[in-house]
Amino acid sequence: MDDFQEKVRWYSRLRVANLFNVQPDSLSLEAVFGEALKAAFVSDFRANEFEQLDRDIKDVADRQILKELSSGALVIRTVGDYCDHMVRCYRTKPSEVMRVLRVAK
């Protein structure tokens, strides 16, 4: 695996861990959103964890990936799926991925 892929995977996992308030090392790539990772109470004033992840996923996606998401051809169910998505998007929108993952320059 390329160095950039490992870096993007690490920061993607860290992003999910921070959103769900868990330790990154305890977060399995197989953890399923909605089962192993549950969102907090939804408020009209604050986005919950799933809404933030959804925003992340769409913010970094290019037109082709957005089509795949809307058609159901691409479904992100696990932490690993989220990490894979970020690695894929990094190839076309590296600065956007780093911004979403909150990686300092």
Domain count within the chain: 1
Would you say residue 73 has pLDDT above 70? yes
Q: How far apart, in whole angstroms, are the C-alpha atoms of residue 94 and residue 86?
A: 9
Calculate helix-pair angle for 63-71, 49-60, nearest 10 degrees.
130
Q: Give residue 48's Cα distance to chain centre.
A: 14
* Model confidence, pTM: 0.91
12 in a structural domain: yes
For residue 55, pLDDT over 90 is answered with: yes
In a domain, residue 76? The reply is yes
The two most distant CA atoms of the chain are separated, in Å, by: 41
Give the residue-averaged pLDDT of 14-19.
Answer: 96
Is 59 part of any domain? yes
Q: Is residue 105 part of a domain?
A: no
Name the pLDDT band for 83 (thresholds 50, 70, 90). very high
Domain housing 53 = 3-100
pLDDT exceeding 70 applies to what percent of the chain? 93
pLDDT above 60 (res 1): no
Q: Per mean pLDDT, which range of 16-20, 34-38, 73-77, 89-93 is the poorest?
A: 34-38
Whether 42 is in a domain gets the answer yes
How many Cβ atoms are within 10 Å of 51's Cβ, its own excluded?
A: 12
